Amino acid sequence: MTADRDIVLDAVTEEARANGYKPVGKVYFYKEHPEVICVLNLQRSAWGPQHYLNAGVTFTRLATSKRPKFSGLHILWRADSLVLGERKSALSKALDLEVAMNDAERHRAIREETFRHAFAHLAECANEAKSLELAERIGAAVKQAVFAHKETENADSH
């Protein structure tokens, strides 16, 4: 099972680096922009040999850390939950180590689907406004703190 876990981690790490993300530890990958920090996290299930891809953005001006954990992001989504139909099957199967799959196929599927459903979206998040547009379009969660801060700014400007 360790070899399978290594394939998942290696595939995600390779795709992260190919997209300009820096690994911090084994399961977090960061890319900084002036207004936002984009994050990808590989999460292992507590109940079995499944993995999940968490992606999101934190607004630099509201950040409490330069390396926020997934729960501390301002916009967040589970990349594999955005996938519908056959693609969902492909990504979920590749991230589920109970599903029989040869190593090369698992590695390829994870890289392709991680790009399509995490890094391609994160590439759109060059600033706060574009990040919020993406969140609305894909149905990502936006933490209330972002809206509260915007309302405070708007009240201060009047």
Q: What is the pLDDT of residues 86-124, one digit of tens each?
A: 555 678 889 999 999 999 999 999 999 999 889 999 999
Given a cut of 90, whether residue 38 has pLDDT beyond it is: yes
In this predicted structure, what is the pLDDT of residue 86? 55
Measured CA to CA in angstroms, residue 31 lies from 49, 75, 79, 88, 107 at distances of 28, 15, 17, 26, 23
pLDDT of residue 51: 93
Query: Closest by alpha carbon to 55, among 73, 69, 36, 76?
Result: 76
Domain boundaries, the chain: 2-151
List pLDDT tens digits, range 130-156.
999 999 999 899 986 675 545 444 444
User: Which residue do the tokens 């729960």 mark?
Assistant: 71
Report the pLDDT averaged over residues 41-60: 93
Name the residue among 48, 55, 24 with its Cα closest to residue 119: 55
Q: What is the pLDDT of residue 3?
A: 66
pLDDT mean across residues, the chain: 86
Evaluate if residue 58 carries a pLDDT over 80.
yes
